[in-house]
Chain A
Amino acid sequence: EPEVTQTPSHQVTQMGQEVILRCVPISNHLYFYWYRQILGQKVEFLVSFYNNEISEKSEIFDDQFSVERPDGSNFTLKIRSTKLEDSAMYFCASKGTSGRLEQFFGPGTRLTVL
């Protein structure tokens, strides 16, 4: 069964460093999302991406964040200059056509900023 994959599973970085989190969505999906969950809090929406551009973004998704679909398979989230408060589990999700509502999630990347 097709699944969303994410790499790495755990990333440790120093404050101020740039990180890139990678996702491979399900191959025929058209809509792509990033979410995060800070420990003990709700899963929060960051950004959605469709037709090679951002569809919607939350207040969390400021200028420090960017997303890209550099080729036909990968979907990346870049954090330019990480802060301590960026430490969280980051989930990628993808969805098929506009008629399908289910979002399929990857297993997440745990980001630890020291």
Chain B
Amino acid sequence: ILNVEQSPQSLHVQEGDSTNFTCSFPSSNFYALHWYRWETAKSPEALFVMTLNGDEKKKGRISATLNTKEGYSYLYIKGSQPEDSATYLCARGGGADGLTFGKGTHLIIQP
């Protein structure tokens, strides 16, 4: 994998259902993996930064896992709510260097 790839590109989920989506990235020279939540006309909001293989982070109903050996991260949302509707971006990199972003997963929660 040369780039950061996210799947699916978009996702419609019924309110109350749980969902997850994937970020794949080059596993060589890994530094950190970032997840952002981005609503239109607002600033992308930092959700998680993970650095170690096997890392798991949680914020309320949202959690993320990291596998640096095989180069993937999952983001999980439990019991989706309408306010979870947003684009979820993952990005590789950090420190003084810039981040390399995926194209995002556009999540729509249907009432």
A interface residues, Cβ below 8 angstroms from B: 3-4, 31, 33, 35, 41-48, 50, 55-56, 58, 91, 98, 101-108
Contact = CB atoms under 8 A, between A and B. Distances in A.
B98 A102 contact: no
Majority SS of interface residues in chain A?
strand
Contact of B51 (A48, A101, A104): A101
Majority SS of interface residues in chain B?
loop
Nearest to A3: B43
A101 B94 contact: yes
Contacts of A108: 43
Interface of B: 4, 32, 34, 36, 41-46, 49, 51, 89, 91, 93-104
B98 A45 contact: yes
B101 to A, nearest CB: 4
Contacts of B41: 107
Task: List 5 tightest A-B contacts by C-beta distance, closest first.
Answer: A45-B98, A43-B101, A55-B96, A105-B44, A101-B49
